[in-house]
């Protein structure tokens, strides 16, 4: 008897919920960052992050959340009737089922981006996903967590984001971009830490140094302040 026939007559194993993720929130808003800024977007915020950036604005996602299957996530996302999805955190890649979730969203024909700290391996991510990857500057307190080998995996479909808290961070970022040839890999975004680096000052430095970066503010904070779920 062939293995295929054996499998066909054996009782199915009890179903195991192996596709569950811990979710802090799913909400419909306006994308506030990246080249997708301004687009109506459904955000899926996964719970948990192994980093502790000094200026983190999503500490409420470190703990808690609720368990959801990938099917349940897809069903909830579908209710918003929105073609653009952003998977964020926390650090989404800290949950192994983030990868099948990303694949399922792409299979459902959504335009999918992933916001990741850059501290975890990005090699297993579905290539249809646009990866928005942080490079942590010293002011974050997490510069040693940068996984530099991730840079070799980036394509023009992805984006690098540097959040800067000071002139020291800016000079560090400029040096890293030149030394590691980041401008040649994908679009590079510089943004100021709100309340620590004046936005106009950062914009002026970029102009003065003729840097080929995209300056960005967090549009959602301009619109609604630092409100969870917006």
Footprint of ligand SF4 (CB under 6 A): 49, 51-53, 56, 58, 89-91, 117
Residue 217: burial class (beta carbons within 10 Å; 0-12, 13-18, 19+)? middle
Quick one: 55 or 80, whose CB is closer to ligand SF4?
55
Omega of the bond prior to 7 within 30 degrees of 0, cis? no
Report in angstroms the alpha-carbon separations of 108 from 5, 83, 85, 179, 225. 32, 10, 11, 39, 32
**Residues 74-77: contacts with CB under 8 Å, at least 24 apart:** 74/104, 74/105, 74/108, 76/26, 77/26, 77/42, 77/44, 77/105, 77/110
Instruction: Compare residues 112 and 142 and give the one whose CB is closer to ligand SF4.
Output: 142
Rg (CA), the chain: 19
CA-to-CA distance for 26 and 83, rounded, in angstroms? 14
Taking the complex as a whole, how short is the minimal distance between the CB of residue 17 and ligand SF4, in angstroms?
26
Q: In the bound complex, what is the minimum distance in angstroms from residue 33's beta carbon to ligand SF4?
A: 12
Minimum CB separation of residue 49 from ligand SF4 in Å reads 3
Residue with smaller CB distance to ligand SF4, 93 or 209: 93
Q: 161 or 185, CB closer to ligand SF4?
A: 161
CB 51 → ligand SF4: shortest distance, Å? Answer: 4
CB of 83 to ligand SF4, least distance (A): 25
| Half-sphere exposure for 55 (CA within 13 Å, toward CB) | 18
Nearer to ligand SF4, 93 or 211 (CB): 93
């Amino acid at each position: 008897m062939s293995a295929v026939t054996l499998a066909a007559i054996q009782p199915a194993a009890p179903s195991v919920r192996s596709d569950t993720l811990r979710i802090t929130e799913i909400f419909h808003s306006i994308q506030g960052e990246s080249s997708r800024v301004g687009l109506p977007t459904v955000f899926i915020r996964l719970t948990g992050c192994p980093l502790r950036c000094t200026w983190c604005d999503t500490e409420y996602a470190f703990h808690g959340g609720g368990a959801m299957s990938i099917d349940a996530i897809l069903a909830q996302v579908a209710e918003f009737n929105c073609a653009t999805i952003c998977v964020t955190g926390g650090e989404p890649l800290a949950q192994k089922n983030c990868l099948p979730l990303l694949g399922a969203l792409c299979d459902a024909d959504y335009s999918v981006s992933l916001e990741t700290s850059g501290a975890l391996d990005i090699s297993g991510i579905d290539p249809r996903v646009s990866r928005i990857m942080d490079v942590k500057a010293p002011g974050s307190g997490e510069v040693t967590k940068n996984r530099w080998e991730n840079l070799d995996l980036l394509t023009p479909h992805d984006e690098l984001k540097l959040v800067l808290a000071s002139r020291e961070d800016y000079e560090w970022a400029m040096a890293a971009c030149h030394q590691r040839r980041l401008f040649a890999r994908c679009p590079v975004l510089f943004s100021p830490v709100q309340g620590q680096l004046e936005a106009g000052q950062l914009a002026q430095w970029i102009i003065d140094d003729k840097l080929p970066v995209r300056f960005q503010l967090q549009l959602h904070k301009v619109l609604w302040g630092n409100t969870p779920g917006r």
